[in-house]
Amino acid sequence: MTKYRIAVLPGDGVGKEVVEAAMIVLEEIALDAEYLYGDIGWEFWCKEGNPLPDRTIELLKQTDVALFGAITSKPKKEAREELAPELRDRGLEYFSPIVRLRQEFELYANVRPAKAYPVNPLNYRDGINITVFRENTEGLYSGVEFRPVSDNIKKALSVHPKFKRFMDVPSDELALSCRIFTRKGCERIVKAAFDYAEKYDARSVTVVEKPNVIRETSGMFVEIAREIAKNYPGIELWETNIDAQAMWLVKNPEDYDVLVTSNMFGDIISDLASQLTGGLGFAVAGNIGDDYAVFEPVHGSAPKYAGQYKVNPIAMIRAVKMMLDYLGEHEKAERLESAIEQVVQEGKVRTYDMGGSSSTLDVAKEIAKKYRGE
């Protein structure tokens, strides 16, 4: 029996290529694991009407953790048009499989480390080391949306005086997306951020919201952060509005350690932090719950590059590093981090985004070589 059972979900486009690169590194690491491949992505939406087949959900339930590549997502109308002809009249609607995974497995913490590796030519500035904690299952991405907005829903909302100006808008000219927060959801993501800050001796946790305008949801999030911060006297709680935080990250990114925020704000601010530290080729995320986790690069499937093996696999390989830490394989994780850092610093093997001409697999092989000490 192997020690670990790991689900591998390559997905679409370059997702398959960066997962192939990750497996080169994992072969060198020689983790005591069995790798089980699962189906996910656009191909399965088009031919089955489900981008996350039930068989894949069952596969994940039999594993300890998952590595995920990338998927293609398209708007509602385009998604319906690309269904197999025999599926188009069944009322099927596309829903992001990675969002569904987060909700199915309660992967409430999206953890996004943004680290500026020394001598990386893509760094905005050296010395940046920020980790964003993004609530992963609620907020605007909860999926509670309406278009058209029925009379029943309009009637329910009419109790709020500010909805009155929308009452006469025709139902088919109105769209509604709900920003839903729960106390439990706010508490657990804020606590996760403070626990991380305490573990890694961070100076501060910054809560990033907009309570002066979005008074109820952002207001509750900030209030809960203040309550939880009292249990961590050695860590400062900072509070900023999302728009100001974007400005401060560009101006003084080295001032920040851990940021914590809601789903959509976290999606935006973590991409900004990633761009400061190398862009999508370095951007990685862990979707972590109490019982399961899925690790991924955050770039998309990049269809125009599919089959060319030119994209940077470092984000995917950093996902492997995060997975190793999650599994408690800290020595292997640190060796892999050191190998990544050495390859970036030497600059001999670089993909196109870093100004080089090396392939996706060339970078993976070089990191594997450094891992074994060559």
- End-to-end C-alpha distance for the chain, whole angstroms: 31
Confidence class for position 73, pLDDT limits 50, 70, 90? confident
Averaged pLDDT for residues 17-37:
97
The pLDDT tens digits for 270-304 are 999 999 999 999 999 999 999 999 999 999 999 99
Binned at pLDDT 50, 70 and 90, residue 240 comes out as very high
Average pLDDT over residues 307-330: 97
Residue 1 has pLDDT above 80, yes or no: no
Q: Which of 72-86, 122-136, 357-371 has the lowest mean pLDDT?
A: 72-86
Of all residues in the chain, the percent with pLDDT exceeding 90 is 95
pLDDT above 90 (res 328): yes
**Fold of the CATH domain 124-135+180-276:** Rossmann fold (3.40.50)
Structure confidence at residue 77 (pLDDT): 86
Range(s) of the chain covered by CATH 3.40.718.10: 1-110+284-374
CATH superfamily, domain at 1-110+284-374 = Isopropylmalate Dehydrogenase (3.40.718.10)
Chain centroid to Cα 69, Å, comes to: 11
Across the chain, what does the average pLDDT equal?
96
Angle formed by the axes of helices 217-229 and 183-199, nearest 10°: 40
Residue with tokens 């969002």: 99
Checking if the pLDDT of 236 tops 80, the result is: yes
Q: Is 207 strand, coil or helix?
A: strand
Residues of the chain with CATH 3.40.50: 124-135+180-276
What lies within 8 Å, CB to CB, of 194 at 6+ separation is: 205, 228, 229, 231, 232, 235
pTM check: above 0.95: no
